[in-house]
Amino acid sequence: MALITFGIVVLRYGFDFGATALQESVLYLHAIAFMLGIPWVLKNDGHVRVDVIYGRLSPRRRAWIDLTGHLLFLMPVTLTLFWQSLPYVSASWRILEGSPEVGGIPAIFLIKTLIPVMCAGLLLQGVCSIRRAFLTIREEGGD
């Protein structure tokens, strides 16, 4: 992405040449990285959280917090996003939606497809995280 951005700047300011497809490719690469990276971040416990109390708790209590958060927030929100994104993505596929810009990448429908794909990955990782929390709670026993 950095090299493409550098190339865009050189083309624009060095040669007075605009390349819409190159500019959009940077946006597409960002979308791919972020959307497919979200489940990976959850897997590696890299999401943002206020760690004032959580870090001081026992593994069992942290597992209870994770379990509660995943069941009450992650799963319902992700399922809703998945369900609500299907008509949006389907409409984009029906018309094979492309860039509104002249010379842009004619594949917006592919980028929009990342929404339910990300949700599916997040749901799978959520199930794995819930299972991990259950196992931690069961293994740790009492505090």
Domain ranges, ordered by start, for the chain: 2-140
Q: What is the pLDDT of residue 7?
A: 85
With contact defined as beta carbons under 8 Å apart, do 119 and 78 qualify? Answer: yes
- pLDDT at residue 8 in the model: 82
The string of pLDDT tens digits covering residues 69-94 is 999 999 999 999 999 999 999 999 99
Average pLDDT over residues 115-124: 96
Give pLDDT, residue 5: 85
Rounded distance between C-alpha atoms, residue 124 and residue 100, angstroms: 34
For residue 50, the model assigns a pLDDT of 65
Q: Is the pLDDT of residue 142 over 70?
A: no
The two structure tokens encoding residue 44: 């590696």
In this prediction, residues 4-10 reach a mean pLDDT of 85
Cα 18 to Cα 1, 3, 28, 40, 123: the distances in Å are 17, 16, 17, 35, 40
Q: Is the pTM of this model over 0.85?
A: no
- Check pLDDT > 80 for residue 120: yes
DSSP 100: S
Q: How many CB atoms lie within 10 A of CB 108?
A: 18
pLDDT range class, residue 19, cuts 50, 70, 90: confident
